Amino acid sequence: MKLGILGGGQLGRMLLQAAGNYTLETFVLENDTTCPAAHLCHHFTLGDIRDFDTVYAFGKQVDVLTIEIENINIDALFQLQKEGVKVIPSPEAIAIIKDKGIQKQFYADHHIPTAPFVLTDNKTAIEANVDFLPAANKLRTGGYDGKGVELLFGANDLPRAFVEPSLLEKMVDIKKEIAVLVGVGIDGATVVYEPTEMVFDPKLNLVDYLIAPADITSEQIKTAETIALHAVKALQSPGLFAVELFLSANDEIVVNEIAPRAHNSGHQTIEGNLISQYDMQLRIFQELPLGLPTNRGFSAMYNLIGEAGSQGHTIYQGLDKALAMEGVFVHQYGKSTTKPGRKMGHVTIVENDKASLLEKLSMVKRQIHVIGDKTIAL
């Protein structure tokens, strides 16, 4: 089978590592020959994933076409699907998800619990809704990795509001952030991973670390899994989806957003589960059984982010200490240069008891630092 991937970042890299377990001919499209996934495929194409002709020509070569980022030319995906290429996830699902306004409206239309929201075409519309604050102001398209989100607590924050089409989402008093991976086969079969718990770095608005399984009640697990499965089923698309949920202070569970692909919140499944999120994608693409992705004990995932104060050639400090500990795995993303806030890798820790897991996590966080070889102003 010929598998095409739009985007050559770390998600593509890890997918291609897993793809080596199967008989797949792999294709990657990305506008950078040194991107993390470029050297792990059979055929690399240099080109812009946002350009119709480029994506169309790339997609015509393959049997299954997938994405590792939503910011792709979706018209080309619709055309390719019409011409018989299996696009997974479906262009329809990507279209719903890549515009956060349409995504929110989709939740409302399908009775999927989510925080109240107002769609805003411009800054004037936001100003007219000052009574709706405090709210998260989210760009409808183009946001990623914490970019494209501003927290507006009141009128004083309006200068930071977006001028582009965006939405205001009522701020949830968050007790925990939870993620649930859901796999959907081409035949409609589904599989749900046990919920994980994400802890965010408030400065970078990126997942700082993650614990699996989430420390929530069995009732909450059931509710989170039910909501996630319902939301993903409503998309009516095969694929692997990451559903991010909020557990609010008053114990309500609402959908934050869905990623129609492998996700940062699922990296720990490589070592922490019997089926990784990448292997699950490959099973779906090949119409193999989805299987049982049972957790293998406790696991934690810690993002390695380029630190403030330096950039340039990437240096990973402290690996010698971290990798001496039992059950600690590193994933370097192969990005030759770092800058503050850039995702440069992650560490997964597996353990049989949670206390040891948290202890090792805290050591890893102290030990590993990703810096560049050039000092810059803080």
Q: Are strands 64-67 and 86-87 parallel, antiparallel or unpaired?
A: parallel
CB atoms within 10 A of CB 146: 15
Q: Which stretch binds a copy of itself (CB under 8 A): 46-54, 77-85, 95-103, 326-334?
A: 326-334
Q: Is 332 in the site for a copy of itself (CB under 8 A)?
A: yes
Nearest residue to 58 via CA among 70, 72, 40: 72
Q: How many helices (H) and strands (E) does the chain have?
A: 11, 21
Q: Is 316 in the site for a copy of itself (CB under 8 A)?
A: yes
Phi/psi for 229 (5° steps) reads -65, -40
Instruction: Give min distance, CB of 42 to a copy of itself, in A.
Output: 4
Binding-site string for a copy of itself from residue 227 to residue 266, where x marks contact by CB under 8 A and - marks none: ----------------------------------------
The smaller minimum CB distance to a copy of itself, of residues 13 and 263, is found at: 13
Record the tokens describing residue 321, joined without a space.
Answer: 């200490």
295 DSSP assignment: B
User: Which single residue is written with the structure tokens 């049997």?
Assistant: 63
Cis peptide before 340 (omega within 30 of 0): no
Of the residues 75, 164, 251, 320, which one makes contact with a copy of itself according to CB under 8 A:
320
Q: Is 329 in the site for a copy of itself (CB under 8 A)?
A: yes
The smaller minimum CB distance to a copy of itself, of residues 134 and 289, is found at: 289
- Chain centre distance of CA 83: 29
Instruction: Give min distance, CB of 272 to a copy of itself, in A.
Output: 11
Q: Is 26 in the site for a copy of itself (CB under 8 A)?
A: yes
Q: Which stretch binds a copy of itself (CB under 8 A): 9-17, 70-78, 119-127, 157-165?
A: 9-17
345: left (phi over 0), alpha (psi -120 to 50) or beta: left
Q: Is 294 in the site for a copy of itself (CB under 8 A)?
A: yes
Q: Is 331 in the site for a copy of itself (CB under 8 A)?
A: yes
Record the tokens describing residue 193, joined without a space.
Answer: 């991973």
Q: Is 151 in the site for a copy of itself (CB under 8 A)?
A: no
Record the tokens describing residue 164, joined without a space.
Answer: 């582009």
Phi/psi for 92 (5° steps) reads -60, -45
Binding site for a copy of itself (CB under 8 A): 13-14, 16-18, 20-23, 26, 39-42, 274, 283, 288-289, 291-292, 294, 296, 314, 316, 319-320, 323-332, 334, 350
